[in-house]
A and B are shown apart, each in its own frame.
Chain A
Amino acid sequence: GAVVSQHPSWVICKSGTSVKIECRSLDFQATTMFWYRQFPKQSLMLMATSNEGSKATYEQGVEKDKFLINHASLTLSTLTVTSAHPEDSSFYICSAATRQGSYGYTFGSGTRLTVV
Chain B
Amino acid sequence: AQSVTQLDSQVPVFEEAPVELRCNYSSSVSVYLFWYVQYPNQGLQLLLKYLSGSTLVKGINGFEAEFNKSQTSFHLRKPSVHISDTAEYFCAVSGGGGTSYGKLTFGQGTILTVHP
Indicate whether A78 reaches chain B with its CB closer than 8 angstroms: no
* Among B19-27, B66-74, B78-86, B102-110, the stretch in contact with A: B102-110
Choose one: B43, B101, B104; the contact of A108 (CB below 8 Å).
B43
**CA A109 – CA B42 in complex, angstroms?**
5
Count, chain B residues at interface, CB 8 A: 21
Closest B residue by C-beta to A94: B43
Query: How big is chain A's contact interface, by range?
Result: 20 to 34
Number of residue pairs spanning A and B whose beta carbons lie under 8 angstroms apart: 52
- Chain A: residues with CB nearer than 8 A to chain B? 4, 6, 9-10, 32, 34, 42-44, 46, 49, 91, 93, 95, 97, 102-110, 112
B103, A34: Cβ atoms closer than 8 Å: yes
Please give the residue numbers on chain B whose beta carbons come within 8 Å of chain A beta carbons, in ascending order: 32, 34, 36, 41-46, 49, 51, 90, 94, 101, 103-109
Q: Are B106 and A44 in contact (CB under 8 A)?
A: yes
> Are B103 and A110 in contact (CB-based, < 8 A)?
no
Q: Which residues in A have their C-beta under 8 angstroms from that of B46?
A: 104-106
Can you list 24 pairs linking A and B with CB atoms under 8 Å apart? A4-B43, A9-B41, A34-B103, A43-B90, A43-B107, A43-B109, A44-B44, A44-B106, A46-B105, A95-B104, A102-B51, A103-B32, A103-B101, A104-B49, A105-B46, A105-B94, A105-B101, A107-B36, A107-B43, A107-B45, A108-B43, A110-B41, A110-B43, A112-B41
